[in-house]
Amino acid sequence: MSYFSYRNGELHAENLPLSAIAKAFGTPTYVYSRQALVDNFSAYANAIRGNGRDEKTALVCYSVKSNSNLAVLNLLHSMGSGFDIVSGGELLRVIAAGGDPRKVIFSGVGKNHEEIRLALGHDILCFNVESVAELQRLNEVAGEVGKKAPISLRVNPNVDAKTHPYISTGLKENKFGIAYDEAFSAYRAAAGMPNLRVVGIDCHIGSQLLDDAPLLEALDRLIDLVDRLEGAGIHLHHLDIGGGIGITYDKDKPVAIGDYLGRLFARIDRWRAEKHGGAPIQVMFEPGRSIVGNAGILLTEVEYLKHGETKNFAIVDAAMNDLMRPAMYEAFHGVQPVRQRDAAARTYDIVGPVCESGDWLARERSLALEQGDLLAILSAGAYGMTMSSNYNTRGRAAEVMVDGDKMHLIRKREEPGDLFRLESLLPA
């Protein structure tokens, strides 16, 4: 189903013309489809139910870093989602959105003392530990507050996700997780720490995976390690396979969620039947991009058209501070005009007003444009707003949720005064 489609030559979000959103709230503005979010989360929930699981045996923990707007989090919470966080701030966002901290897993390589205390105080589900040094800190802080910290180790299985090197996280050279060959001894160390409770195992090998073969390879490595741990008397209650399933940005053809989960559950069921008498183990997932990525677009206006001898530029009011992925990863995002024109197209680079040559959103796109036209930058729901900045003292974009023919402002546009409100002058 397409949630952003043309009707009578005008691009709509669900049943609402995007031009109406620009008129009401200006540009640049992130626009999300509520129905897309519901359907994308349901793809996981339906596959879980279809494979005979419930929340006790399979839990989706949405990756907050992909899009952390309170309305998005609240909607997913209402559908039964847990949450994967990487900071104390994200935990407070989940709580502010009505989420249950007891369904939160805390990942990330650099958890500080205050974040650990905060998470322990809210009785989160689990810490995904990424180093032996972190184990020691967790044991220390948990002892100070009189609690036992529930932990799993994020194991780095050294599996190539075959994705962009900046979003590959499962190889030996990546900063994430504990090396597979060191994980057994790390688990034994954790089991001997008085203020830790070992409950699970975790891995996440990368993002924007179009094929589930690397994920299933990583699963096999985790299964082997779980069996070794069981033999040593360390019994785990859950297995977290991470996230990473990709979306369509251009001509990408990602694996269907139902097909991937079906193969994964079949593999787990065979293993539990053969080695553990059919005893279940809870399975966790950490999807982000596959839920919110194609549920959002960035709406922007053409400020100027600049035609040159070797390049044509469409200079828009959105910039690299609004959508960092093209400048950071050379990532591809589709571009569509909000109103289709019956005119000759030219090839344009879509660029912003930021004072950097890296400030571009799309290159060499064939478009029929005039100054003042609106453009939709597609597949911008994940890692768009969350990675945005105030570079050049530019306020971050507004965010709008569309529900059928209704639009809801879910984040106001930042004004210049918002950006320096926390700053102060030196004394005279």
Catalytic pick among 61, 126, 203, 355: 355
355 catalytic per annotation = yes
Establish whether 372 is an annotated binding residue: no
247: nearest Cα among 334, 318, 324: 334
Phi, psi (degrees; rounded to nearest 5) at 420: -120, 20
* CA end-to-end span of the chain: 62
Secondary structure of residue 399 in the 3-state scheme: strand
Sign of the dihedral defined by the CA atoms of residues 225, 230, 232, 234, in that order: positive
Establish whether 353 is an annotated binding residue: no
Residue type, 166: Y
Establish whether 260 is an annotated binding residue: no
Contact partners, residue 312, CB within 8 Å, separation at least 6: 305, 306, 346, 347, 348, 349
CB 310: neighbour CB atoms within 10 A? 4
Establish whether 304 is an annotated binding residue: no
For residue 406, give both structure tokens.
């209704």
Establish whether 197 is an annotated binding residue: no
H or E segment to which residue 17 belongs: strand 16-17
CB 318: neighbour CB atoms within 10 A? 30
Establish whether 286 is an annotated binding residue: yes
DSSP states along 92-145: HHHHHTT--GGGEEE--S---HHHHHHHHHTT-SEEEE--HHHHHHHHHHHHHH
For residue 115, give both structure tokens.
């974040």
Establish whether 214 is an annotated binding residue: no
Establish whether 413 is an annotated binding residue: no
Beta strands 29-33; 296-307: pairing state: antiparallel
Distances (CA, A) of 339 to 10, 147, 368: 5, 59, 10
- 388 and 46 in contact (C-beta within 8 Å)? no
241: nearest Cα among 287, 288, 292, 175: 287
d(Cα 325, Cα 98) in Å, to the nearest integer? 30
- 283, β-bridge pairs: 58, 239
- 284, β-bridge pairs: 59, 240
Establish whether 329 is an annotated binding residue: yes
Binding-site positions read: 244, 286-289, 325, 329, 356, 383
Q: Which residues are annotated as a binding site for pyridoxal 5'-phosphate?
A: 244, 286-289, 383
So which residues are the catalytic ones?
Answer: 355
Binding residue positions for substrate? 289, 325, 329, 356, 383
